[in-house]
Each structure stands twice: as C-alpha cells, then as structure tokens.
Chains A and B, each alone.
Chain A
Amino acid sequence: MLRKFSYVRASSIKEAVTAAARPGARILAGGTDLLVCLRNGILAAETVVSINGIKELKGIGPKPGGGFRIGALTTLTEIAENKQLPENYTALAQAAAAAASPQLRNQGTIGGNLCQRPRCWYFRGDFQCLRKSGDQCFAMSGENQNHAIFGWDRCAMVHPSDTAAALVAFDAKVTIAGPKGVRTIPLASFFVLPKESVLKENVLAPGEFITEVSLDAPRPGTRSVYRKVRERGAFDFALAGAAVVLTKSADTVQSARIVLSGVAPAPWRAAAAEQALAGKRLGDESIAAAAAAAVKDANPFGDNEFKVALVRGILEEVLSGMA
C-alpha cells in the first residue's frame, strides 16, 4: 500500500539535514500525519528521514538568558501536562490538550503539529486540487462549511493546528535547521498564505525542519486562554478557535494578543480586536467592540458564514471569562 522508500534514522541534526536534502525526502517525527498522507497517496516520499533518535530535539526547558525552549519532538501530551512552563502559558497547554485524541497526542509532536498538512476534505480525498498541483479549489463551489473566512485566495483551506494559534499569540519563535545552517524566525512569519503559494503551508525549504520552538519569559500580569469549538468533544479539528493573551494592570488591558484558529490558511491574528482592547477597561462594551472588530474583515463564502458569528461568540466568551 505504501510505495517503496528508503529509510534513514538520523542520530544528529546534521545527519538529518543531509538526508532530508535529498530529493523527495520527508521528515518523520510522530508520523501521525506523514504516514497517513503516504498511505493515502497524498504525498510521495523517496526517503523518509526519522529524527526520533535525536535527543536534543526532545523536552521542555528554560533557555539560557530567560524564556523557554520546546524541542520539536516534544509530544502534545507532554505540553498539555507540562509542569515546566509557567501558568501564564496556559493557552498553549490548553491548545495541546484540545488537539486530536489521547493516542494521537501521545504520538504527535509540536514540530509536526506546526507542519501538518491541511485537513481540507478535498485535499485529503481523491481530488486533484490546487494544493496537489491540480487546477482548481473544489471548496469554492463545493462543500465549504469548514473552510476559511479570512486570508483565503485561490485556496480556502484552514490551518489545522491548535497549538500554532497559541504559540503565535505568545510571539513564539521557531528554530529551523537546514542545508544552509540554522535560522530562527518568528512563528508568525513561518506560515505561507495561498496568495504566496498554494503548494506549501510554511517557509521550510527542502532539507529544512523545525528543531525547536522558543518562548520569551512572560510579562508579569499576563493571562492566556485557548478556546476551541468543534462538532464533537474529541478527535476533531476546530470549526474556529481563539488564543487570547492579555496583560492587564488592574482592570485595564495593557496589551492583547488574539490569534484565531480554524478560520484562515494560517493562524490568524485579529489585530483590530487587539487594538479595540488596548488601554480599555475589560468590560461588556470593550468586549463587544473587540469581538465585532475581529470579524470586520471576514470574507465568508458559501456555507461558512456561521464562522463569523462563531468567532464573535468565542471572543465574547473568552474575554468575558478573563474580565
């Protein structure tokens, strides 16, 4: 069922980069997405490069000079149940806990979660869609209730990651190893929108992979929440979700970060909503204004109009709970 491929189990980042730079190579971490994609013929692989033997890619810990690092191989369960990260990072633990199912969270890694392919049922099904080098996005006039209301262009898939929204809200950075060396970039600039490319969801070049995610030490007074709405209680992707990070002094919001999941081809920062809260007392009025601002530029099509109300509802609920 799987087409033949060669298998490399790398023991160092350098070895992995070398193997991953071969044409048609794929990085294997938890395998919860890659193996399904290979089995279903969505991806092809000449070489599968396992990075699971690279010890330095594992675990959560403090970073020299402050903040925290999360190795790319850290499982979602480890993040959901971690004791190392301060309470201010609750949204990240909540996002990890809201993903998939217990078995998948035990196996799936944070690096893989950020790099997972779209869950659009056309992309996953037997449809030669744009993202598989076809000539159309079937969702445009098809079954598009799960699709994007922000940031879509020729393709209307939504980015499936929960943790990505939380990490972007925390201004996380990702460190990427590759044939040209190591680089660290903000996670917010890691993702690629359809207007730039419909063939990839992130900036990784051939041979590159994420080695770690890093977080700055939280500012005092910061609280965070991740809220995900899905049709069923587990093993389901977000219809919409929001990671909200607020820094307050007394009743007043000093700064806000609001990043939406399930509504755009990348984690979607609701900058207008953040502005609507900044410097305001967190109360009914500012909450309503922020929720409205978040969807001001929403562009639903077909059957995904409900997501506009859903984003407003989620933000009203989350912000009211933080007031």
Chain B
Amino acid sequence: MPDATPKPWGETTIVGKPIPRVDGDERLSGKATYSLDLYLPDMLYGATVRCPYPHANVKKVDLSEALRMPGVRAALSDADKEANIPWYGAPGGRSASRLFDTHCRFAGEEVAVIVAETQQQAWDAVRQVRVEYEQLKFTTDFEAALKSDAPPLHDGGNLAANPVNVTRGDVAKGFAEADLVLEETYRTPTQIHTPLETFGSVAKWDGDELTVWDTTQGVFPVQNSLANLLKMPLSKVRVIGHYMGGGFGAKLSLSKYTVMAALLARKTSRPVKLFLTREESFLCVGNRPAHAMTLKAGVKKDGTLTALEFTGVGEVGGYPGGSNAGYQVQDLWKCPNIHVVERSAMTPMGPARAFRAPGFPQGNWALEQMMDALAEKLGMDPIDLRLKNYSPMCQVEQKPYTSAGIPQLLTEGAKAFGWAEARARAKGKGPLLRGVGVASGMWGSPGRPPSTAIVRYYLDGSVNLNMGAADLGTGTKTVMAQVVSEELGVPLERIGIEWADTGTTQYTSASGGSKTVASDSPAVRAAALDVKRQLLALAAEQLKVPAESLTLKDTEISGPGGSPKVTTRELRTLQTQQVLVGVGIRGPNPTDKSVRPFSTHFAEVEVNTRTGEVRVVRMLAMHDSGRVMNAATFANQCLGGMTQGIGYATTERRVVDSNTGTMVNSNWYDYKIPTSKDIPPDLDVMPIDLHDHECDTTSTKGLGEPATIPVATAVANAFYNATGVRIKEGPITPAKVLMALAQRKG
C-alpha cells in the first residue's frame, strides 16, 4: 500500500524549475488535436435552434421544412421522447427544466437541434425551422427581479436559492464599539468566460458503448452526469478531454450540447460533432454573475475592525443557482462581528456558471475598496490597516491556517513594488494623473481528495504517467511529469503521459477551484514513490542488501558510495513482468487546520482626466500558494489572472438591451477582452513560499483563482488614489470616468 505521507521535499532538482511545457510544441504548432479538430469517418454536424426571446413559451416547433433541406439527417425537439431529459437542478433535488423545455427563460435557450452532412447545411437548416412563441413578461433588472411585483420565471418567484445568512458575534455591538463606520454600495458587471476554444463535443457509439470527446475541465463529472441522464453504466460511457483551450469554470460539468450530440449520434448511428459558435458561447454556457453589494464596516481609530455587515444580491440568470460573494468578508480580515446576507436573483438571461473564483472577485471589489476607504478616513496606509487586521486563523472553519502569508505578501510586496515611494510621488500635474493601489485576496477551499494516479515503469527505463486530471492549458501535464521525474530521476523526455480519459485514466474531480496541483500532485508523487519502493525492493532482493541502503537515479540503483550497483534493466523480476505499476492515492487534508491560498496585488494606473482613459502602468502579483512547482507555468497563471482582472476592471461586461431582454455585445469586438495593448509589459510575479508541509505532500495550495481575485480591486484603488474619485460600479470605462470627474467638478 502506498505511503500516504511521504516526507516533504527538501531541495528539489526539477520541481520548481521553469521547465517549458512538455506539450508546448504541439499546442503552439497546431499539431495538437483539440475536440474541435476531430474528424471521424461519416461524421455529422449539429446546429442548435435557440429561442430569440428572454421569456417565452414554445407553442409549436415545425421542423418539416428544415428536415427537407439538403444534407439534413435528423433533428430533435421536446416532442421526441428521448429528449425528455431533466436539466437545471432546483431545490429539493428536482429539476427546473428539460433539454428542450418549452418554457424558455433566456434568449439563446435550446429549442431544437439538427444534424446534417456539413456544418453549413446544419446552420442553413436551423434558419428553416419555424417556431411559434408566446412571449412572456420579464425584467432584466436583477435587483428588481426580487420584488413581489416582478414577473416570475419559475413558480415561486425569482429567488434562486435560500438566502445565505451568516452571523458571527454581534454586529450591533461591533458598530457601537467603532470609532468610524462607513457604508457603501458596490456593483460589478456580468463577465463572460470567453475561452479561446469554444464549447462542444463529438459523440460516437460502438454498440451500446458511448465515447464522447469533450472540451471539459473534468472528464469524470461529465461521464457521471451523462451515464446518469442516459441511464447507462459508467463502464459504457467514455469521456475524453485531451487538449483544452481554456474553460475558466465554464467547462466543469456536463453541457446540453454533449447530450444532444450523444442522442443524435445514437439516432443516426453516425458520429456527431456539435460545437457552439462564438456568438452562442456568449449566451448559454455561463458567466460571472453581476452583483450589487452593500458593505458596512466599523473600525477603531487604531485600525482594528469591529464589525462587517454585507448584503449582497447576485444575478444567476434563468435557472436556480448560487451567486454568493461574501466569503472574504467573513474570512480575509480578523473581525469578531460579522453579518452576511446574500440572495441570488433569477433573470431571463444566460445561467451563471462557476467563473475563476466564483463570487470572489465580486466580494473583493466591495471589501477591498472598503478597506481602502477606511484607511484613508483613518489616515492610515492601506498596507498598515491590512497588517493590523491579519488573521492567522480561518474564522469560517475556526481553525488555524497551515500557513497564511498575508503579512509577507503585504510587506515584501510593498518593498518590491516601491509602494511608499509611489504613494509619496506627485500624482501628476495637468490632465495625466498617476496613482497606486493594493488589494489582498484569498480563495475559499483547498486541494483535496479524491485523486488516484498510476505510474508505470517499463523495462527500458521509460515511465508512463496516467492521471485523470485535465490540462486546461495551465501546464498540468508538465508539472505532474516534473513530480514523477523528481522522484524517479527519469528525464522528462522519457515520460509518456495519459490524461483526462475516463476509459484509460483514474478518477479525479474536475480541474477547477485552484485545486488541480494540490489535489493531483500528491497522488502522482505517491504513485511514483510506489514504483520507486518496488524497484528498490527488487534490487535489494537481487543484491541481498537492505532496501533502505539503496538509492535510485534514473535507471541506476546503487548502495552507499556507488556500490553495489544494478540497473533497473537488470532486475530479474522486472525482466519477467516487463512493467511495474505504482498506484498513488491522494490522502486526506489535515483535520485540525485550514488550508487556504492568499494573494496581494499592487497596481499603478495613469488616468487621462480629459478623455477618461485609464491605463494600467504596472502590476505586482504577490502569491502565497505554497510551493512553486514550475516557475514558468506559475508566472503564466499570474499573468493570465492579471489580464483577466484588468479586463474585469476596465472593459468587460455583458450589455443587455432591457427592452428586448437580449445581449447586444455577444461577439469579440463589442465584448472587449483586453488586447496586448491593454496589458502593460511591466507585470511582476513574486511567490512567497512558507514551506507549508502540512497542507499536502507536495506543499502546494493552489494558484489559478488567487491570481485574478484582487486584480480589479487593486486597479480601482489605484484609480481612486490618482483621482480622489471612487467608481463603485465596474468596469471603470472612459464614460464612467468622465461622468464621475464631471460630477466632482460640479
């Protein structure tokens, strides 16, 4: 049985190094086969009929004309029995909808699907489908949606879930003790995931076995849901999710297109590819909910927080779901008295999905701007106010952290960024103003089981790593190969990797929640150690020395001082078996301590007060994510997080026409993700490693989400520092800047 708790690494030889991606060449050269690149013999192509209205009843779907179009082979709608599949969970284990529910609750909802010999024929056929709709009343204002007179999307109204109501201590008492109380309302926009790779699946049946190639962050959750909905055993559903072009949380679970592809492939006895267009992917595969958040904070003259009261409403779109944003209010800063009330409102818009730290950039926008405002009123440096309220304990779980580097992130970051000097510098004269801002953040859950990995050692000294984890483009394969190489001394080029395939790899949960490295690398390490143990035991037997006296380096096993010596190729049992199989299982987390990653970002911005343009001049990302597994992929995650955060801060938002209830910017020129011109070259990344050997056996805590959580707030605080004007509703666009500056002038 593998030892679940090996000793922590000391000095490492390959872990931590900026190793280029093991699959960099095929990803960059276009040789990698993404799901969209898959062309199977006899494959059909799908296209979806979508409801153009935000809220409507489908009265009639007439597919007859579409089915007569050239190349069209089949279609599915709610009238087909096999399409009677429950969709969108609702409280009480019920489902709120069906695959093609005739009650449509957002513009873009699926009404029918068609397959044809070519993609163009499928798209053309969609235009020939005649659907009769009865339009229903709606409001697109998510705060108004919770009022009693708002048109309900579901029986029982537009409240998506039971409100969150968390109390710690007594906020009334806390506010009474405060020397200063501030209350502000902050708003954040709806952000769309927009991964470079769009969304879709290829489905193929062999007898009663289904194989799906999906663009997914988690092949096992997709397999589970698919088997469940199609009433099939897990063993007959294989999901492959090899190369991925980003998901950001939108590809964590089963999507309708996968089910539609599977049903149509069964119906036509042919493989079916169903991919969304870019425009569709803005509508129906998730978003970061918009939020309205009122935060009231009480603080003593010396900066000690006495109370935080947070009331939030988030917009989850057409179907039930949670949109909670208040976690950091409860946990980031030490505060004895907390009251958090959160509600999630349904509107006739595309349903929200997890998006890179669900709820956290929103809550951070409120909390960390409030900290900035408190610091100013108290005449304190924002760094000092945060240091004053540092909590070495997870207040939500009431346990100490295994490590919490907030003080180091703040003080070492301030030094590296030149914080004091930058704050003291003149803001600038004339129309161009400069300012600096800081914001801290934390992520609310750790890496954890389950994860099982297998490492196979072949007679020729090459190694196969077999893991279920997806590589979303973050470098998971590279990092895990480094772990194997670290333990076995095998060079990377002799490590083959099988990954993200339910047919050939072992179970792990989806890659999300910043937990892939922290969940899967301990399992991979344990599997490699299992192989090593077996190799040493075989060598010990053959050399007749105790296994403890032997060391393994690549294919060489030797005793102290290099003697006795044997190569793995010479191991008789291995010669007979040809392969050794090591199994690693992710052990449990500590029960008496909490594991959390932390970050603190510093930003400098330049504001053109004549034109309202805001330019991020430079940023520094400070991270306590435990051990750096690969300095290059680590920096990459941070640069990506900052880029996405700068978009969230300055340009990105879904724009909805309230009269028609439809999105008007569902394309890449109107929905503005940052370009290389919007991201400064001066983006620095500095990890702090506190050698946390309690969190897991690779000392890792997760990075993907902490890398984006505080970005927009740091930019907002820098904007305030530059102008003295606070823009509480993101994004900070030239339009908002000019209107706010004009108001200040009066």
Residues of A within 8 A of B (CB): 1-2, 101, 119, 121-122, 124-127, 138, 141-143, 145, 229, 231-237, 239, 303, 305-306, 309-310, 312-314, 316-317
Contact = CB atoms under 8 A, between A and B. Distances in A.
Interface in B629-673: 650-651, 655-660, 662, 664-670, 672
Contacts of A239: 734-735
Nearest to B123: A1
A316 to B, nearest CB: 6
Contact of B612 (A124, A141, A313): A313
B677 interface: yes
Given A229-B611, A231-B672, A121 B734 contact: no
B6 interface: no
A237 to B, nearest CB: 8
Contacts of B167: none
Contact of A143 (B431, B611, B657): B657
Given A138-B657, A138-B660, A142-B659, A229 B735 contact: no
B669 A235 contact: yes
Contacts of B613: 229
Nearest to B672: A232
Max chain A C-beta neighbours (<10 A), residue from B612, B676, B741 = B612
Given A1-B124, A317-B611, A126 B669 contact: no
A231 B657 contact: no
Interface string B112-124: 0000000110011
Given A1-B119, A138-B659, 4 more contacts: A124-B670, A233-B677, A234-B677, A306-B734
Contacts of A314: 610-611
B577 interface: no
28 contacts: A1-B124, A2-B120, A124-B667, A142-B660, A143-B657, A229-B613, A229-B734, A231-B734, A232-B651, A232-B672, A232-B675, A233-B676, A234-B677, A234-B678, A235-B669, A236-B672, A237-B669, A239-B735, A303-B735, A306-B612, A306-B735, A309-B741, A310-B612, A313-B431, A313-B609, A314-B610, A317-B431, A317-B611
Interface residues of B, number: 42
Contacts of A310: 611-612, 734, 738
B733 interface: yes
A250 B576 CA distance: 95
A303 B733 CA distance: 13
The binding surface of chain A is classed by DSSP as: loop
A229 B612 CA distance: 9
Contacts of A138: 657, 659-660
B651 A231 contact: yes
B655 A143 contact: yes
Contacts of B491: none
B664 A122 contact: yes
A143 B414 CA distance: 42
B545 interface: no
Nearest to A121: B664
B496 interface: no
Closest 8 CB pairs of A and B: A233-B677, A313-B610, A121-B664, A306-B735, A306-B738, A234-B675, A309-B738, A234-B677
A271 to B, nearest CB: 22
A253 B476 CA distance: 63
A309 B678 CA distance: 23
Interface string B340-384: 000000000000000000000000000000000000000000000
A207 B613 CA distance: 42
Contacts of B124: 1
Contacts of B28: none
Contacts of B662: 125-126
Interface in B656-715: 656-660, 662, 664-670, 672, 674-678
B688 to A, nearest CB: 32
B742 interface: yes
Contacts of A126: 52, 662
Nearest to A318: B610
A138 B651 CA distance: 23
Interface string B480-516: 0000000000000000000000000000000000000
A232 B655 contact: no
A45 B120 CA distance: 17
A121 B655 contact: yes
B38 interface: no
B739 interface: yes
A46 to B, nearest CB: 17
Contacts of B660: 127, 138, 142
A232 B609 CA distance: 16
B664 A317 contact: no
Nearest to A312: B610
Contacts of A119: 669
Contacts of B676: 233-234
Nearest to A125: B664
Contacts of B123: 1
B678 A1 contact: no
A237 B657 CA distance: 20
B229 to A, nearest CB: 31
Contacts of B659: 138, 141-142
Contacts of A145: 735
Nearest to B655: A143
A234 B674 CA distance: 9
A1 B120 contact: yes
A89 B507 CA distance: 65
Given A126-B662, A305-B739, A309-B742, A317 B610 contact: yes
Contact of B665 (A2, A121, A229, A233): A121
A141 B675 CA distance: 31
A238 to B, nearest CB: 11
A49 to B, nearest CB: 23
Contacts of B675: 101, 232-235
A145 B678 CA distance: 21
Nearest to B675: A234
A142 B659 CA distance: 7
A260 to B, nearest CB: 13
B610 A316 contact: yes
B735 A313 contact: no
A127 B52 CA distance: 10
Contacts of B52: 126
A138 B669 CA distance: 20
A32 to B, nearest CB: 11
Contact of B658 (A142, A231, A232, A312): A142
B657 A233 contact: no
Nearest to A227: B611
A168 B610 CA distance: 25
Nearest to A315: B610
A237 B676 CA distance: 16
Nearest to A100: B669
Nearest to B670: A121
A260 B665 CA distance: 25
B674 A232 contact: yes
B266 to A, nearest CB: 27
A105 to B, nearest CB: 14
A306 B741 CA distance: 10
Nearest to B121: A1
Nearest to B613: A229
Contacts of B650: 231-232
A232 B120 contact: no
A227 to B, nearest CB: 8
A313 B611 contact: yes
